[in-house]
DNA sequence: CGACGTGTTGATCTCTCTCAATTAGAGTGG
DNA sequence: CCACTCTAATTGAGAGAGATCAACACGTCG
């Protein structure tokens, strides 16, 4: 894995950063401490760990998770290139959740005062970070809605669709030939609050119904937009109904 | 409901704002647009609503929620005095979730450019907002863990304990005589992804086991710290185990 | 007084979990 | 090249937590 300059950082694709000025880029570059590699399966951040830096994921996949004392695990979300790791942990003191690499991973490590410097020296970038944090919370809300109120079938379909779109957005061909897919059924189960066995059976059922195909580490979404049964899941947001009151 | 000055704003109790300087307070004051009242049950923000301002909850309770097209509802979290409403919605354009008042509520409404001005004029406050957003995400993660991996009993116990602590923290006597509790069983059910019937039965069971008592709109937590069975739930964070790897 | 919201309960149903076992594929060492 | 190991996928059987549906009680309110 090679060095990635801030010029080429996947974060730059984000709406809030595309217009970063030269001086802002220079600032970011000066706050970057180093670049490290973690191997598949390795823990990047441990739950409860203190003094952790701010990271950015340059290459590879990872996920954030929490565990209960008896081992039950909940995956909070999956991290793709361009995602920031640890804004929340970084600020609280100790990490509220762990982060584990799904594949070999290349990380950009920032100085521990990076977040504050960013705010102080470049308010526009600080604003961008706030936007990022707010956006993450919104995603967390979607996940909560899924886990709390959707059936296993809906949850899995929804996850596949969202992941497909996220990964496709990073590819030049937008996923025309399917997208790389590194999750095991266990990961899917832990992200959706389901058991492994039921996740497997549901995945099978959806495949049979024509939603998707997973093959050789690639996810192919077939005709989502055509299947009315999945319409609710495809849109970006939830199709809010009426205010209930 | 009377006027609340920024001096007396419940937000000032937050660690990140206690040390606000005079000029910072003046800035905040200048960004405040007005103060409005909403009545119990009223929707403060509709799902999908555009152009919504940034609010702060001065008095009363509310909650954020999302709904599916068939009416299923998931409550994302409950809002108490001092909570900020809509950092995420505000930034995205349209509201990703709705907000409804649980009681009569007093809101502080900010100018629509408040967030940006805060970042631009007072980086320390901007940083505080980022911290807030990150903290919210962390809470969302806790909720996801509960809904995804805990049993109904654990979820409810956990919610009661967390709410008790939050409300107590706002009271002078720290909840010695119980704390006001405005949630109906339906709210609890919608927050935890449970059915109303099962929520009721579980609530009963916990009460019988001595966890709590709800009476006349007040929640009394009995001897949580003494009950080993709830130990996992009482601590602030989750008692993370080992890295699984 | 009737309507409504909330709490309460019983009966029944089913989705999802748990436990257990088997298979398949990749990697490793001899 | 083969035995050995490990992970991930797969499947079946049985159990159970929690959902659904349907009443009923009670207090508030117009």
Higher pLDDT, B222 or A79: A79
Q: Which of B88, B130, B192 sits opposite A129 (nearest CB)?
A: B130
Domain architecture of chain A: domains with CATH: 6-144 (2.60.120.10), 151-234 (1.10.10.10)
Helix (H, G, I), strand (E, B) or coil at B46: coil
Cα separation, B40 vs B61, in Å, equals 9
In the 8-state DSSP scheme, what is residue A39?
-
Confidence of residue A144 (pLDDT cuts 50, 70, 90): very high
Euclidean distance between CA atoms B140 and B152, whole angstroms: 18
- Residue carrying the six token digits 């995945």: A203
pLDDT band of A24, cuts 50, 70, 90: confident
Helices (H), chain A: 22-31, 87-92, 114-121, 123-149, 152-169, 185-192, 196-208, 231-234
Q: Quick one: what percent of chain A has pLDDT higher than 70?
A: 86
Cβ contact B134–A87 (<8 Å)? yes
**How many CA atoms are closer than 13 Å to the CA of B48, on its beta-carbon side?**
12
Nucleotide closest to residue B183 (CA–C1'): C6
| Separation in Å, CA of A44 to nearest CA in chain B | 10
Alpha helices in chain B (DSSP H): 22-31, 87-92, 114-121, 123-149, 152-169, 185-192, 196-208, 231-234
**Once rounded to an integer, what is the mean pLDDT over residues A217-243?**
58
Confirm whether any atom of chain D, the nucleic acid strand, is less than 7 Å from CB of A204. yes
CB neighbourhood size of B129 (10 A): 26
Q: How many angstroms separate the CA of residue B46 from the nearest CA in chain A?
A: 6
Single out the residue of B50, B20, B222 nearest to residue B127, CA to CA. B20
More confident position, B104 or A19 = B104
Q: Do A67 and B142 touch (CB under 8 A)?
A: no
Which residue would you say has higher pLDDT here, A19 or B67? B67
pLDDT of residue B237: 40
DSSP character at residue A147: H
Q: B101: closest CA among B72, B73, B136, B60? A: B60
pLDDT in tens, A182-212: 999 999 999 999 999 999 999 999 998 888 9
pLDDT in tens, A87-103: 877 666 788 899 999 99
Interface probe with A: pick from B141, B154, B235, most Cβ of A within 10 Å: B141
Q: Does residue A174 register a pLDDT over 90? A: no
- Protein contacts on strand C: list nucleotides below 7 Å from a Cβ: 5-11, 15-20
Please, are residues B30 and B11 in contact by the beta-carbon 8 Å criterion? Answer: no
Alpha helices in A174-216 (DSSP H): 185-192, 196-208
What does the pLDDT read at residue B186? 96
pLDDT at A233 over 90: no
Rounded CA gap, B37 and B27, in Å? 23
Start-to-end C-alpha separation, chain B: 55
C-alpha A13: how far from chain center: 15
Most confident segment among A15-24, A233-242, B31-40, B142-151? B142-151
Query: Measuring CA to CA, which residue among B238, B237, B22, B4 is closest to residue B108?
Result: B4
d(CA B165, CA A212): 45
The token pair at A43 is 């823990």
Residue A95 has a pLDDT of 84
Please give the mean pLDDT across all residues of chain A.
Answer: 84
Q: How much is the pTM?
A: 0.89
Q: Does the CB of A185 sit below 7 A from strand D? A: yes
- Strands A105-110 and A55-59, bridge-based pairing: antiparallel
CA distances from A161 to A219, A223, A224, A230, B116 (A): 10, 11, 8, 10, 33
The pLDDT tens digits along chain B (245 residues) read 667 777 777 777 776 676 667 788 888 888 888 899 999 999 999 888 887 888 999 999 999 999 998 889 999 999 999 899 978 776 667 888 999 999 999 999 998 888 889 899 989 888 888 888 888 888 999 999 999 999 999 999 999 999 998 999 888 887 678 899 999 999 999 999 999 999 999 999 999 888 899 988 899 988 766 555 665 665 444 433 333 22
- Residue A6: is its pLDDT beyond 80? no
Per-residue pLDDT tens over the stretch A116-139: 898 999 898 888 888 888 888 889
pLDDT of residue A245: 25
């Amino acid at each position: 894995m090679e060095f990635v300059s801030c010029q080429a950082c996947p974060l730059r694709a984000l709406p809030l950063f595309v217009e970063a000025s030269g001086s802002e880029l220079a600032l970011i570059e000066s706050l970057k401490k180093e670049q490290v590699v973690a191997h598949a399966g390795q823990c990047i951040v441990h739950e409860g760990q203190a003094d952790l830096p701010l990271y950015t994921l340059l290459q590879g996949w990872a996920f954030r998770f929490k565990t209960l004392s008896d081992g039950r695990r909940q995956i909070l979300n999956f991290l793709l290139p361009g995602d920031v790791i640890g804004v929340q942990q970084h600020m609280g003191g100790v990490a509220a959740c762990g982060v584990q690499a799904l594949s070999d991973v290349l990380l950009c490590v920032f100085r521990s005062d990076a977040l504050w410097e960013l705010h102080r020296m470049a308010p526009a970038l600080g604003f961008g970070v706030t936007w990022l944090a707010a956006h993450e919370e919104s995603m967390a809300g979607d996940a909560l809605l899924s886990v709390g109120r959707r059936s296993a079938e809906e949850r899995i379909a929804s996850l596949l669709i969202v992941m497909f779109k996220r990964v496709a957005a990073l590819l030049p061909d937008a996923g025309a030939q399917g997208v790389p897919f590194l999750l095991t059924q266990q990961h899917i189960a832990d992200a959706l609050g389901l058991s492994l066995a039921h996740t497997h059976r549901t995945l099978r059922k959806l495949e049979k119904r024509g939603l998707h195909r997973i093959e050789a580490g690639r996810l192919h979404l077939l005709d989502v937009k055509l299947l009315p049964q999945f319409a609710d899941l495809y849109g970006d947001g939830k199709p809010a109904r009426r205010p209930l009151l």
